[in-house]
Amino acid sequence: MGKILLLEDDESLNRGISLKLKKEGYEVLSATGVAEAKEMFRENEVDLIISDISMEDGNGLEFGQSVRKVSDVYLIFLTALDQEVDIVNGYDAGADDYITKPFSLMVLISKVNALMRRIESTHEEGNVLTSGSMQVWCKEMKVFQKEQELSLSKKEIQLLLYFLEHPKQIISKEQILESVWDMDGQFVDDNTVPVTISRLKKKLATEEDYEYIKNIRGIGYLWTTEVLKK
């Protein structure tokens, strides 16, 4: 089904996650330190990385940043750091998702399965979506603003695609959680959606300060522009 690199220095937690992922049918490469994880990543083609942040021999954020320099592989941070600034730093380091400890193992598996489904569906998509001066190449998962490619995380692209599927419709935070995070919000930090949307809005901003995503106070969010499919 897919190959996952797990970096977690708590050996008991590492074993538990690894066993559950293997029962789900995934191949798991298990590392308890940053140096070991880097070597595994160099020697293997992986579909997803699950990484702790605070470890004795390094920092998961720095590991994520090094991965992002050479790969767009899916990346989930798994950490006890749960403040808003920590979440922002995680996404800045290239995370597609951010799960805070303590967490439900079933929630983690649900997120992993959802990401793997998206990997499979990405290969099936062939449309190019155009909205304003922006183009999204669905198959390649690339976004261009005025012919310049934007650097977006996988989660930001998934969020963007969800908006493009529902142009000029008010979408609630709950709908976004269910569709983009595949969760009902019970185990997701309250700041996750607004923080990700804020980051996406900044990256999509044009010189004319055109607003693609509008915040409808107390209701949700609105993609303001028509979308064309090619």
Q: Are residues 142 and 71 in the same domain?
A: no
What is the number of structural domains in the chain? 2
Distance CA 220, CA 203 (A): 20
Any idea which of 22-26, 28-32, 99-103, 222-226 has the lowest mean pLDDT?
Answer: 99-103
Q: What is the DSSP pairing of strand 220-223 with strand 128-131?
A: unpaired
Residue 140: pLDDT over 80:
no
- What's the token pair of residue 36? 């070991």
Task: Count Cα neighbours of 126 within 13 Å in the Cβ-side half-sphere.
Answer: 1
For residue 208, what pLDDT is reported? Answer: 61
**Closest by alpha carbon to 21, among 53, 55, 45, 48?**
48
Q: Which residues span the domain enclosing 158? A: 125-229
pTM for this prediction:
0.58
CATH of residue 102: 3.40.50.2300
Split at pLDDT 50, 70, 90, the class of 185 is: very low
Q: Which of 74, 90, 121 is the last residue of a domain?
A: 121
CATH of residue 200: 1.10.10.10
For residue 17, what pLDDT is reported? Answer: 94
- What's the token pair of residue 173? 């935070």
Q: Are residues 134 and 33 in the same domain?
A: no
For the stretch 142-174, pLDDT in tens is: 899 887 899 988 888 889 999 998 999 999 988
Q: Which of 74, 97, 121 is the last residue of a domain?
A: 121
Residue 81 CB neighbour total at 10 angstroms = 18
Q: Are residues 103 and 41 in the same domain?
A: yes
Burial class (CB in 10 A: 0-12, 13-18, 19+), 110: middle
Distance CA 54, CA 87 (A): 14
Range of 103-107, 180-184, 188-192, 224-228 with top mean pLDDT: 224-228
Distance CA 212, CA 163 (A): 10
Any idea which of 14-28, 34-48, 85-99 has the lowest mean pLDDT?
Answer: 85-99
3-state secondary structure of 131: strand
For residue 186, what pLDDT is reported? Answer: 46
Across 32-113, the runs of DSSP E, i.e. the strands, are: 48-51, 54-55, 58-59, 74-79, 97-100
- Across the range 2-22, mean pLDDT stands at 93
Task: Let me know how long the chain is.
Answer: 230
Helices 34-43 and 60-68 pack at an angle, to 10 degrees, of 20
Split at pLDDT 50, 70, 90, the class of 111 is: confident
- Buried residues in 61-78 as b, exposed as e (16+ CB within 10 A): bebbebbbeeebbbbbbb
Percent of the chain with pLDDT over 70: 90
For residue 82, what pLDDT is reported? Answer: 67
For the stretch 118-132, pLDDT in tens is: 766 655 545 788 998
Q: Which of 88, 121, 154 is the last residue of a domain?
A: 121
H/E stretch holding 173 reads helix 173-180
Range of 65-74, 124-133, 186-195, 200-209 with top mean pLDDT: 65-74
Q: What is the DSSP pairing of strand 128-131 with strand 134-137?
A: antiparallel
Mean pLDDT over each residue of the chain, to the nearest integer: 85
For the stretch 51-104, pLDDT in tens is: 998 888 888 888 988 888 888 788 898 887 767 777 788 888 888 888 888 888
Q: Are residues 103 and 56 in the same domain?
A: yes
